[in-house]
Structure 1
Amino acid sequence: MSGALPSVTALREAARPLLSVRDLTVSVRDRGVTRPLVENLSFDLHPGETLAIAGESGSGKSITSLALMGLLPHNVSVTSGQALLDGVDLPSLPEPDMRRLRGSKVAMIFQEPMTSLNPVHTIGSQMIEAMRAHEPVSRGAARAAGIAALRRVRISEPEQRMRQYPHELSGGMRQRVMIAMALAMNPALLIADEPTTALDVTVQREVLELLRELQDSTETAVILITHDMGVVAEYADRAVVMKAGRMVESGAVADLFASPGQDYTRALLAAVPRLGDGAARGKPRPPATRAPVARLVDAQVHFDIGANVFGRPTHRVHAVEGVSFDIRPGETFGLVGESGCGKSTLAKALVGLVPHRGHIEVAGHALAGLTTQGKRDICRDVQMVFQDPMAALDPRMTVGDAVAEPLLIHQVCPALERQARAAELFRRVGLMPDQMTRYPHEFSGGQRQRICVARALALQPKLIICDESVSALDVSVQAQVLALLDELQRDMTMSYLFISHDMAVVENVADRLAVMYLGQIVEMGTRDQVFGNPQHPYTRRLLEAVPVPDPAGKGRTYARSKGEVPSPIRAIGDAPQRMPLRDIGHGHLVA
């Protein structure tokens, strides 16, 4: 005998593919004109294999998945080509036959579980309904199978979860429910469409690890649709890169990352923020000698909930519990942590949108006790850029009017000058003034975010709060928006409070940062202190969970959290224990 044993990948490629897509073209009919959304797409997928379909928004990734599931909108259809699942052409199947295949043979996990789960039905009723639609089983048997499926995705107390509604679960828990429902019937093919984009980095890691373990035990083939090249590197065997509906490049993930053959693939990989790249920016900006732009001392935000027989609240949400820091002129202060840690609540307290205790001041003015006019004046010094630009813009207002609106509200200048100022702001953020008469839906996601930045700049604020402002953007668009923010900061000497759960992005933009956990800061310091020498276990956990855009890191171990995530909700009178920060040297503070 001679030669090495064949690899698992080689054995899979030698076997008959589970799914064979050949020259698939998906077209849309609009006003009597048919145009392709996906053109001549071809690939094979074998049992137990993970194929990533990567690309920017609008590249055709999700349309491909909907075509395979038979869920295309009424004016979109497969106009040519085949998608053979075990020899059955999916696009040509009548809807009744396709309905029998969905769930039992091919299943899908969508990006936003809250839009996939029915808010008026319990988790249990939805799982039972899905199972009984495909198998002639009793409600009791379906319920037992549902509990087993929840236990399989490591949801604690599954019997109790079956009785709960979707809004009672966290984002990570809801996504696990979706995975449990998708895998309950042991499908041969699982399509995961951006399943972790909206999740924190730690929850994303746990969900993907869970998918990998379940795949290993069931030999389910997975199509992973994502724009996160770090996820592609760590979890996919092969990848297809798409642009504008066409396949640009495909191959083994290791080969694709080592030697990408196309300029578009190289640009996509170059735009991925990597941990460690922040050091290349050099030293953080020197500390300012002037007064801080914003200062928080023992800031607290609480929300009372529940009611006893006398109508008095029984519990309290300790959203922010004793937070202190300042933001200096011209610096970017990062605020990181998982969902529910209090980052966005703190941002809302800074702009006066939620009541607070403790001391918060902006541009030397304390927020407590301000009159209505005083609160309005504070808006000239602090502005926000939100995560979803489409939700932040009025769909019935032209973008030019939206950018000029702050000038109108604060009576900064007359009408003609407002339009001229708005035009200048458009040029400043890389847009053309002739686009001012358009509406938000006529722009891409990245352009809409630029419009939101232009609106935030209108009053020339001292502080801009970026609340997850690049989380939903493709990596290339994300890089453009971050470069724009950096350029504006250098030109206008503004300060940023940059809120994110993406540690790689924060490391590339922040001068100083604080790590929040359950409403309190557990570590704070300069970028180099926190990323170069993380001291708190929670900080290290966040850093370990970041996907590395390098296939060599595939299979690295990750210590999962045990038990339930602690809750900031406590009985009134049972305040959480404060975690004091100690200085371990040169302003590096650790709880």
Structure 2
Amino acid sequence: MIAAPEVVAAPLLSVQGLTVSVRDRGVVRPLVQDLSFDLRPGETLAIAGESGSGKSITSLALMGLLPANVSVTSGQLLLDGTDLARLPEAAMRPLRGARIAMIFQEPMTSLNPVQTIGTQLTEAIRAHEPLGRAEARARAIEALRQVRISEPVRRMRQYPHELSGGMRQRVMIAMALALRPAVLIADEPTTALDVTVQREVLDLLRDLQAQTGTAVILITHDMGVVAETADRVVVMQAGRMVEEGPTTRIFAAPGAEYTRELLAAVPRLGTGAERNAPLPPEAPVPVARLSCTSVHYDIGANFLGRPTHRVHAALGVSFDIRPGETFGLVGESGCGKSTIAKALAGLVPHEGLIEIGGKPLSSLTAREHKDIRRDVQMVFQDPMAALDPRMKVGDAVEEPLVIHRIGTPAERRARAEDLFRRVGLTPDQMSRYPHEFSGGQRQRICIARALALRPKLIICDESVSALDVSVQAKVLALLQELKTGLGMSYLFISHDMAVVENVVDRLAVMYLGQIVEMGTRDQLFGNPQHPYTQRLLDAVPIPDPARRSRSYLRPTGEIPSPLRPIGESPPPAELIDTGGGHLVARYSD
């Protein structure tokens, strides 16, 4: 008996010979050349490659959102047989969002800063569906609940700047999912998310595909996410496709040398145990010390205008950072990691004690504060928001030297050029503006700026989350080189547990503004004690498609919140030493 031939679904989206070019100073040069692929209903296609390889430009071409000086110069973008590249804006507008939607890489620049989250969500829904205001609001709240944002009704009244980077990214995902499009382009959708929410969002995308047949184009540099999510992979380098095929084949037997290099650079959980370097010794005066540090924000107002509720962003946090040490801070989005970083940098008011080099921040004069900022520099999570869009990036890197009156103009220029080379950029790029770079390249510029003053402590707030794995490996090696050569210390904040394991000496795990476990790298990764730490490690994506089916217990119930009525505080986490300085908060079984 002859078996019936397998029926292959017709492509929902077909990209044929796509070439996208930019006109720069009268010269036309290609950004993407001769790219072709098909996407079928319910399929997940990953487009992987280094920052600047043309991944995001491809997605913008599909959405009809290319900048004015960039255009599709040849090829076809066929969605249900309609060539999107030839559609006028008036014809493209009803398709955008309803039939083909996109989750953008940088949530802060994608959300309107002067409109509430609720206004933006309901506006997107009502623009494409004939719903009343109340029905659209209910749909928006449900979308926020699906991406596990705590207190979705309250979040509807908030503005983007009131949310953490990870929570803003979840809002963008909720906005795209609310319309249930036929094609969803996810441009680094989990870059700003911690591993547990990343796992939940990826599961949510899979659920959506199962229910509606939505096809997903996943643009990412995280090969662990590719392995666990994608059916097929397109690998791009310098605007060209170097390899394409099923995910299992790409990971098992990559044909291109570039693909092999890309996979080799992926940090893997468990490899950190290969490092046997001793911990930096305790010093009489640590680089930084926090003791019972708390940060809170009062919100709401009663009829007398007094606040009614308090957000306990950080509560009773205590740790120190030794000279030459990398101290890690991990936890879910909104747990207080970035709040602690800002308090340490003197950017938000705090209670308790914070010392830099033995000097309490609360007792410093304005002049002393300026000197402290020379010793403490910060690399922020959102590189586009951290750079002045009207300033050339070379000037941005030189600016700290100008403010602190270091060197002559020629010496400042020379140091900036050296820093550009060290973070994988070239000196001739110094005359460009931030919008001319990819997200990963902008983050490298921010790292170069932080290094300009050669500080004693650098606070890295998700500083490598926007970088592709090969550049990420180079930047982490650079940070290690500076640490070894200059005795520099780092507060390394990240949701990527594999990266954390490979770079930190000690770390603390935060949950709802409090530390629940703290110890050396080997203690926490080799013998995690707190259930929350165990859940973080279980959620880490593994760059092996064969292990995609491993079980993961999804959280259920209402998401806990750090918001309490005025006068009511969360119970403090009592840390118990389980041996060797491994501190674990008490918890109920």
TM-score range, shorter chain: 0.7 to 0.9
- Give the deviation of 1:293 after TM superposition: 2.1
Which secondary structure does the structure 1 equivalent of 2:207 belong to? helix
**1:581 match:** 575
Shift of residue 376 of structure 1?
3.0
Matched, 1:150 2:117: no
Quote the residue 2:252 is aligned against.
258
Deviation at 1:34? 3.1
Task: Report which of the two structures shows the higher radius of gyration computed on alpha carbons.
Answer: 1
**C-alpha spacing 1:106/1:400, structure 2 compared with 1 (3 Å):** closer
Distance, in Å, in 2 between the alignment partners of 1:414 and 1:69 is 47
Match of 2:223 in 1: 229
SS across alignment from 2:362 = coil
What secondary structure is seen at the aligned counterpart in 2 of 1:534?
A: coil
Matched, 1:309 2:303: yes
String of CA shifts for 1:425-455, please: whole Å, max 9, x gaps. Answer: 6777677788877776777766665555555
CA contact (8 A) 1:147 1:158 kept: no
Which moved further from structure 2: 530-539 or 369-378? 369-378
What is the DSSP-based 3-state SS (H/G/I as helix, E as strand, rest coil) of the residue aligned with 1:230?
helix
Query: Does the residue aligned with 1:556 lie in a helix, a strand or coil?
Result: coil
One-letter amino acid of the structure 2 residue matched with residue 79 of structure 1: T
| CA deviation after TM superposition for structure 1 residue 350, in Å | 2.2
Partner Cα distance (1:21, 1:424) in 2: 41
Which residues of 2 match residues 190-229 of structure 1 at below 5 A? 190-229=184-223
**RMSD between aligned alpha carbons?**
3.6
Q: Aligned partners of 1:464 and 1:530: how far apart in 2?
A: 23
2:243 match: secondary structure: strand
Question: Quick one: structure 1 residues 511 and 447, their matched pair in 2 at CA, closer, same or farther if it must change by over 3 Å?
Answer: same
The residue that corresponds to 1:36 in the other structure is: 30
- 1:236 to partner: Cα distance: 0.3
Change (3 A) 1:380 1:202: same
Q: Is the counterpart of residue 480 in structure 1 residue 481 in structure 2?
A: no
Contact 1:336 1:513 in 2 (8 A): yes
Change (3 A) 1:542 1:556: same
Answering whether residue 72 of structure 2 is matched by residue 78 of structure 1, we say yes
Cα distance change, pair 580–82 in 1 and its aligned pair in 2 (3 A): same
CA distance in 2, matches of 1:398, 1:143: 42
User: What is the CA distance between 1:345 and its match in structure 2?
Assistant: 2.1
Give the gaps of 5 or more residues in structure 1.
none
- Is 103-112 or 175-184 further displaced after alignment? 175-184
Written as runs of structure 1 = structure 2, the 5 A alignment for 1:83-102 is 83-102=77-96
With 125-134 and 281-290 compared, the bigger mean Cα shift is at: 125-134
Alpha carbons of structure 1 residues 382 and 237: separation in structure 2 relative to 1, 3 Å: same
Cα distance change of structure 1 residues 569 and 430 upon mapping to structure 2, 3 Å threshold: same
- The aligned runs of 1:9-158 (5 Å cut-off) are 11=6, 14-113=8-107, 115-118=109-112, 130=124, 133-134=127-128, 137=130, 139=132, 143=136, 146=139, 150=143, 153=146
Letter aligned with residue 204 of structure 1: Q
Report SS of the residue matched to 2:244.
strand
Summarize the Cα distance change of 1:386–1:209 in structure 2 as closer, same or farther, 3 Å threshold: same
* Structure 1 pair 267–550 and aligned structure 2 pair: CA distance change class (3 A): same
Q: Distance in 2 between matches of 1:556 and 1:457?
A: 41
Summarize deviations over 1:550-570 as a string: whole Å, max 9, x none. Answer: 111213332222233322222
Secondary structure (helix, strand or coil) at the match of 2:260 reads helix
Q: What SS is found at the alignment partner of 2:341?
A: helix
Per the alignment, residue 368 of structure 2 pairs with: 374
Q: Pick closer, same or farther for the CA change 1:165–1:364 going to 2, 3 Å.
A: closer
Give per-residue Cα distances to partners, 1:137-157, cap 9 Å, x unaligned: 463796498369639937689
Contact 2:147 2:173 in 1 (8 A): no
Aligned counterparts, 1:318-467, within 5 A: 318-389=312-383, 391-394=385-388, 405-406=399-400, 409-410=403-404, 452-453=446-447, 455-467=449-461
Task: Name 2:488's counterpart in structure 1.
Answer: 494
Partner of 2:292: 298
Is the partner of 2:184 in helix, strand or coil? Answer: strand
Amino acid at match of 1:230: G
Q: Which stretch has the larger CA shift, 44-53 or 368-377? A: 368-377
Q: Is the 8 A contact 1:166 1:174 kept in 2?
A: no
Which residue type is aligned with residue 143 of structure 2?
Answer: L
CA 1:280–1:71 in structure 2 vs 1: closer, same or farther (change >3 Å)?
Answer: same
> Secondary structure of the equivalent of 1:27?
strand
The whole-number CA distance in structure 2 between the counterparts of 1:406 and 1:553 is 47
Aligned length: 584
- Contact 2:169/2:189, CA 8 A, preserved across alignment: yes
* Bigger mean CA offset, 531-540 vs 390-399: 390-399
Q: Which whole-Å CA distance do the structure 2 matches of 1:173 and 1:445 have between them?
A: 18
Using a 3 Å threshold, how does the CA distance of structure 1 residues 301 and 429 change in structure 2: closer, same or farther? Answer: same
Deviation string 1:17-73 (CA, Å, 9 cap, x unpaired) is 222222122223344443322211111222221111111222222222222233333
- One of 522, 527, 535 as aligned partner of 2:529: 535
- Aligned AA (1:218): T
Deviations 1:509-532 (A, max 9, x none): 001001111221100011011011
Identity of aligned residues (%): 73
Q: Shift of residue 483 of structure 1?
A: 0.5
> Could you say what secondary structure the match of 1:80 adopts?
strand
TM-score by structure 1 length?
0.87
